[in-house]
Amino acid sequence: DQQVKQNSPSLSVQEGRISILNCDYTNSMFDYFLWYKKYPAEGPTFMISISSIKDKNEDGRFTVFLNKSAKHLSLHIVPSQPGDSAVYFCAALGGFKTIFGAGTRLFVKA
């Protein structure tokens, strides 16, 4: 039972363009969401979070959007840089549980 889904296993984007990573969830008890970036041979690194009382949170080049009615969140990276190439995981929190999606591998081409 996948409560958090990242339906795109990979995404390829040209340097300087926008990267949009998507995440869907099924459980209404989730009320806090995070995005993590993971490089090979390292643990995930926290990037940005959003509470369910907001619909947008920005931090520099990174913006997370939350659509509660659609149970959908997205991470926008603009402009994309080659160093952004990594696996991105979304995570949903609620009821003391943290559920991660399967990840999306982002390739940013120079």
Q: 17 or 59: whose CB is closer to other proteins?
A: 59
Strand partners, 88: 37, 104
What does residue 84 show for φ and ψ, rounded to 5 degrees? -80, -10
Q: Is 25 in the site for other proteins (CB under 8 A)?
A: no
Of 22, 21, 18, 12, which is closest to residue 80 (Cα–Cα)?
A: 18
Q: Is 32 in the site for other proteins (CB under 8 A)?
A: yes
Binding to other proteins (CB under 8 A): which residues in 51-70? 51
CA distance 29 to 107: 32
Q: Is 28 in the site for other proteins (CB under 8 A)?
A: no
Binding to other proteins (CB under 8 A): which residues in 76-95? 89, 91, 93, 95
Q: Do residues 84 and 11 lie in contact, with contact meaning Cβ atoms separated by under 8 Å? A: no
Q: Do residues 89 and 6 lie in contact, with contact meaning Cβ atoms separated by under 8 Å? A: yes
CA distance 55 to 68: 8
Among 13, 24, 103, 108, binds other proteins (CB under 8 A): 103
Q: Is 101 in the site for other proteins (CB under 8 A)?
A: yes
In the complex, minimum distance from the CB of residue 32 to other proteins, in angstroms, rounded to a whole number: 5
Return residues touching other proteins (CB under 8 A). Answer: 4, 6, 32, 34, 36, 41-46, 49, 51, 89, 91, 93, 95-103
